[in-house]
Chains A and B, each alone.
Chain A
Amino acid sequence: MSSRQRNLDIVWLALFLLAVWQGLSMLAGSDTLISPIGTMRHLAELLQTERFNADMLETLRAIAAAVPGAILLGVSCGVLLGLHHRSGDVTEPMLVTLYALPKVIFYPIVLLICGLGISARITFGIIHGVFPIILFVMNAIRNIRPVTLRSARAFHLSNAQTISTIVLPAALPGIMTGVRVGTSVTLLGVLIGEMFAAKHGLGFRLMTAIDSHDQASIVAIAVLFSAFALIINAALLALSRRINRDT
């Protein structure tokens, strides 16, 4: 199968999904489900209002703090747990459980500790994203071929040198997957945080739209946030494909 045909298939599939959306909208009436074109028009209108832009900026600020935080914390914990086998074995099931927990139930605790500010949303985003990153990084490091680590010992590298010159480069593809998944989950965490107990941000706008049954805004904001998340995801995916090709 040529890559051209594959790309064509992807376009066809996207068009098909849009057609289904349009069809459902026509079937249910545009008051129940807004059409794709109507959504775009409404989104363009929203983007011209100052308040909406301020909310979007607020969400971007929370994301800009939460994503690096989750990555930094996740990668460093993952590296340590990946290198020390016993700690890794002991903590892995606990981390899996923490990953599988519905993190929303911790939101009240986060609010009680951080207060009703942007720091609560940032913390909440990090709580969501950090566990998948730890798990992916830990597994990536455990799957490094033992001979690579043995060569580090043969060269008498210090621990810091081993990590920076051997472990991180060798585990980079796996780490990138963790970073990509973790980033998406962090974005979702920030959004959910905003949906509950916030006075700014896209999540807050989403909740106001529910209260006023403003269906057009709900779909427009959801589509906007999805597009944003998908673009970040595609960029990270392209980056990790490039890394995989180089190594």
Chain B
Amino acid sequence: MIGRDGVIRAFIVALFVVALELACRFGMISKFTIIPPSQMFASLLDILSSKAELSQIGTSLLNIFVAALLTTIIGFFLGIGVHAVPRLRAALDPLMVSYNALPLFAFYPLFILILGVGSPPIILMGVLLGLPSMMLATMNGLDCLPPVLSKVGSVYHMSPMSQALRLKLPAAAPYLFNGIRLAIAYAFIGVIASEFILSGSGIGFGVGFAYNSFDTRTMYGLILLVVILVAVINTLLHVWDRRLESRRTR
């Protein structure tokens, strides 16, 4: 399952960790700047065994999950809606192309003023970041549906609903999956960054709080946690994506 590339990858990560450990241990990097990876890991274990920290992590993960779910659902239906009106789609195109140029985080303070400090503005940031990607993925999926599918559907006298569920949805699945992947990535970025900028709980808040109170150990523990979480989720999605791909080309 793990190919040669995977081994090289693991080797690079291991080399990096060992080099960092040695550089810290021999004083090439001040311990006030970066602590050795072994201590980061120990700090991570402490965090995972503390109830207060776990509830912070839980808050963030719940926000990320809600944001990704909302992005997927809203983006899917908006994508279908916009796809049905070509004129609207053409008019939206300049906005879609330059959407990632919009500094959405500049609007986060405004959302706080309107929605109050707490989960709603944080989730809103996660949703806004990922929404266009999910819409684009849905529209791409609909574009790539072969016309033969609806012919098959009418030959078998399928209702529009069962055509959509049993023919079109599976055919568009790889594109939708791509959109969901992006939705999850953007939910992570939106939620953690918002928590970091201004909030009262969550992993992002924890990193900022630890930094401001000179608690380097906890800070690196939390940073390591985020890196591991994102790496694991990304790898799982990558493997799943490969599996979908191989089933499609079989």
Contacts and interface: CB of A to CB of B under 8 A. Distances in A.
Given A100-B230, A108-B207, A232 B101 contact: yes
A112 interface: yes
B189 A89 contact: no
A226 B100 CA distance: 10
A205 to B, nearest CB: 10
A103 to B, nearest CB: 8
Contacts of A206: 106, 109
B106 A105 contact: no
B74 interface: no
A235 B185 CA distance: 28
A231 to B, nearest CB: 9
Contacts of B193: 102-104, 192
B54 to A, nearest CB: 18
A104 B114 contact: no
A3 B225 CA distance: 50
Nearest to B105: A192
Contacts of B92: 13
Which label, helix, strand, loop or mixed, suits the secondary structure of the B interface? helix
A109 B90 CA distance: 43
Interface string B197-237: 11000011001100100000001001100110011001100
Contacts, number: 157
Given A89-B5, A100-B189, A218-B109, A192 B197 contact: yes
Interface stretch (A73-81, A90-98, A144-152, A158-166): A90-98
Interface stretch (A4-12, A64-72, A135-143): A4-12
Contact of A222 (B13, B101, B110, B192): B110
A33 interface: yes
Given A90-B8, A93-B9, A233-B98, A104 B33 contact: no
Given A104-B193, A113-B33, A191 B101 contact: no
Interface in A197-216: 206-207, 209-210, 213, 215
A220 to B, nearest CB: 10
Contacts of B192: 102, 104-105
Contacts of A12: 91
A12 B227 CA distance: 44
Contacts of A230: 98, 101-102
B2 to A, nearest CB: 12
B106 A93 contact: no
Contact of A184 (B100, B191, B197): B100
A229 interface: yes
Interface in B125-164: none
A210 B105 CA distance: 13
A188 B197 contact: no
Interface string B174-187: 00000000000100
A215 B112 CA distance: 10
B32 interface: yes
A21 B147 CA distance: 40
A91 B99 CA distance: 28
A116 to B, nearest CB: 12
A86 to B, nearest CB: 8
B107 interface: yes
Given A112-B32, A225-B106, A213 B113 contact: yes
Nearest to A108: B211
Interface string B76-102: 000000000011101110110110111
A51 B69 CA distance: 43
A157 to B, nearest CB: 29
A215 B105 contact: no
Nearest to A102: B192
A222 B107 contact: yes
Nearest 6 pairs between A and B by C-beta? A102-B192, A222-B106, A9-B91, A233-B101, A184-B101, A108-B211
25 contacts: A6-B90, A13-B92, A13-B95, A32-B113, A33-B110, A86-B8, A89-B5, A91-B9, A100-B188, A101-B230, A103-B189, A105-B207, A108-B207, A181-B100, A185-B100, A188-B104, A191-B105, A196-B196, A196-B208, A209-B109, A213-B113, A218-B110, A226-B102, A229-B101, A233-B97
Interface of B: 5, 8-9, 12-13, 32-34, 86-88, 90-92, 94-95, 97-98, 100-107, 109-110, 112-114, 185, 188-189, 191-193, 196-198, 203-204, 207-208, 211, 219, 222-223, 226-227, 230-231, 234-235, 238
